[in-house]
Structure 1
Amino acid sequence: MKMNLVLELMDVPGQLVSVLEPIGTLGANLVTVIHKREFKNEQGMVPVHITIEGERENLFNVIQKFDDLGISIVEMDGVVKKEMISTLLYGHIVDQDIRDTMDRINLLKGVVITGFDIKLDGEKESTALITLETDYGKKQFVFDKIKEIAEEKQLLMINEV
């Protein structure tokens, strides 16, 4: 059985080697590696396309190992595993501890803030555009959690910008 994966890795020395090492130890074979360093995202992550083959159980052991190591699988056999979503918050965002808001969102499993743009209007209310990367299928969960935070901080939330 073959499996095509797109991983997101930090573009630092040794990262690729450390990711490839478990493949052989878990009984799978590495067929192809395409490391696209020129496509680095805002977090310094680069896509790495790999093809592995082996027994079904061994391939799923590799996937589990990647998960244990915190390696993000963006795509598996052409199926997107991550999606980008965005939302707006409106109100006294700075006064309501913007750092706490961001930290609480980043604590959600499978969610990373990839962009946070704020428009300030002096002492008046401000608007923040939050762009997030989340595991595929978790969009409603993420929106619900952000809504809880927004309501607690008396901020208006507008989904899917």
Structure 2
Amino acid sequence: MRMDLVLELLDSPGQLVKALEPISAFGANLVTVIHKRDYKNDNGKVPVQLTLEGEHEDLKNVVNKFEELGFTIIEMDGIVKKEKITTIFFGHIVDQDLRDTMDRINALDGVVIVAFDIKLNGEEKSTALINIEADIGLKQTVFNRIAEIAEEKDLLVINEV
């Protein structure tokens, strides 16, 4: 059986080797590896495409080990597993407990904020650009949580289309 994966790894020494170790440990074979260091995302991660061969159970164990090690699998056999969501908050963001806002978004299962950039304008209202990574199918849940937070904290929210 063959499996194609796209992992997201930190662009730091040893990460690729760490990702490759479970493949042989579970009896699978590495057919192809493409390490795209030129495509670093906002949080310093790069996509690594892998093609593996092995028995179904062996490949399943490799995928489980990747998840256990904290590697994000963004695509498996051409099926996207994670989606990127971008939103903007405008208002008195810091005054409205920034930590609480982030914690409430991150509290959703399968959702994590990967970047939070804020532009302050003295005592005036500020703008925050938030990049979120979520499991496929959770986009509307994320938008609902963001709308709930924005309403409670009197923030304007602009979601991607």
TM (norm. structure 2) is: 0.85
Task: Point out the more displaced range, 8-17 or 150-159.
Answer: 150-159
Query: Could you say which residue in structure 1 is the equivalent of 2:150?
Result: 150
Q: How does 1:1-150 map to 2 (within 5 A)?
A: 1-118=1-118, 120=120, 122-150=122-150
Change (3 A) 1:49 1:97: same
Q: Distance in 2 between matches of 1:120 and 1:12?
A: 31
Gaps in structure 1 of 5+ consecutive residues: none
Percentage identity across paired residues of the two chains? 68
Greater Cα offset, 87-96 or 103-112: 103-112
TM-superposition CA deviations, 1:14-50 (whole Å, max 9, x none):
1111111111111211111111111111111011110
**Residue-by-residue CA offset, 1:62-98 (whole Å, 9 max, x unaligned):** 1111111111001111111111212232332121122
CA-based RMSD: 2.2
Give the secondary-structure state (helix, strand or coil) at the position aligned to 1:94.
Answer: coil
Compared with structure 1, are the counterparts of its residues 17 and 117 closer, same or farther at alpha carbon in structure 2 (3 Å cutoff)? closer
The number of residues matched between the two structures is: 161
The list of structure 1 runs, each at least 4 consecutive aligned residues, that deviate by more than 6 angstroms after superposition, is none
Q: Distance in 2 between matches of 1:70 and 1:117?
A: 24
Task: Kindly state the Cα deviation for residue 111 of structure 1 after the two structures are TM-superposed.
Answer: 2.8
Question: Which deviates more, 114-123 or 74-83?
Answer: 114-123
